[in-house]
Amino acid sequence: MIQNYNSKKLYERLPIYVHFLNSIQESNISSTTISKSLNLGEVQVRKDLALVSGKGRPKIGYSTKNLFKAIKKYMGMNHASKAIIVGFGKLGKALYDYAGFSELGIDIVQAFDISNTTDFVKDIKELDSYCLENEILFGILTVPSTEAQATAEKLIRCGIVGIWNFTSVRLNVPSHVVIQNENLAASLSVLVKSTLDKKVGNDYEKSNETNDSYTSKKH
């Protein structure tokens, strides 16, 4: 099997296509339709599809089913990747119940915490045996910041090679481990700053209607 390495940005868009294709009844779909439905550039969609799928047909588009399969295969979504959650606070609970992962071939199979263990939350002492027995590759880290680095190291000792990090700690891990930081606070800050930027731009435009050197970034 030919393994393609591509950009993170592409990897972010492909699940969006998968989710969209899931809702499509028609047997064929054009890149134009996809791009309009998802507010993406149409050349960008065509390029993305070209990278992962068989050819489309002019005037007809792509076979919805084949395209769907091709993207899922490319993204490794057929493996049914198993993930565990460590830290069963509010955020951990929310992710555990989040419905959007399964259509992308990801199952959150178990949660762990140091206390409040129940039927479906195991004590963190069982992490090691559970992960090894079940060959878990992915861990979702939703523990308090103070525990982040130590818990990450624990996960790695259990054979986990991909960590989705919701803590604000910048983890130090060996090079074979992949970290995906999900810094919610930073993300909301980006929204605030971007919004303020645009507001300033707009206010400036309003106060100076004849000046056309100021335009919003998107047009």
Partner DNA sequence: TAGATTGTTAATCGATTAACAATC
Contacting positions for DNA (CB under 7 A):
6-10, 30-32, 41-44, 46-47, 49-50, 55-62
Strands (E) located in 90-186: 106-113, 121-123, 138-141, 162-165, 178-181
In the complex, the smallest distance separating the C-beta of residue 188 from a copy of itself, rounded to whole angstroms, is: 6
Binding test (CB under 8 A) with a copy of itself, winner from 104, 109, 114, 156: 104
Binding partner of residue 124 among DNA, a copy of itself, none, CB under 5 to 8 Å per kind?
Answer: none
Tell me which stretch binds a copy of itself (CB under 8 A): 52-60, 85-93, 127-135, 148-156. 85-93
CB 145 within 8 A of CB 169: yes
What angle (nearest 5°) sits at the alpha carbon of residue 92, between those of residues 15 and 169?
A: 85
The closest alpha carbon to 96, from 80, 83, 77, 81, belongs to 83
In whole angstroms, how large is the CA radius of gyration of the chain?
22
39: left (phi over 0), alpha (psi -120 to 50) or beta: left
Binding test (CB under 8 A) with a copy of itself, winner from 27, 32, 38, 54: 38
Binding test (CB under 8 A) with a copy of itself, winner from 45, 49, 83, 84: 83
Size of the site for a copy of itself (CB under 8 A): 71
Contact pattern from residue 148 through residue 167 relative to a copy of itself, giving x for each residue in contact according to CB under 8 A and a dash for the rest: -------------xxxx---
In the complex, the smallest distance separating the C-beta of residue 133 from a copy of itself, rounded to whole angstroms, is: 20
- Per CB under 8 A, 174 contacts a copy of itself: no
> How far lies 198's CA from each of 187, 209, 210, 212, in Å?
17, 16, 18, 15
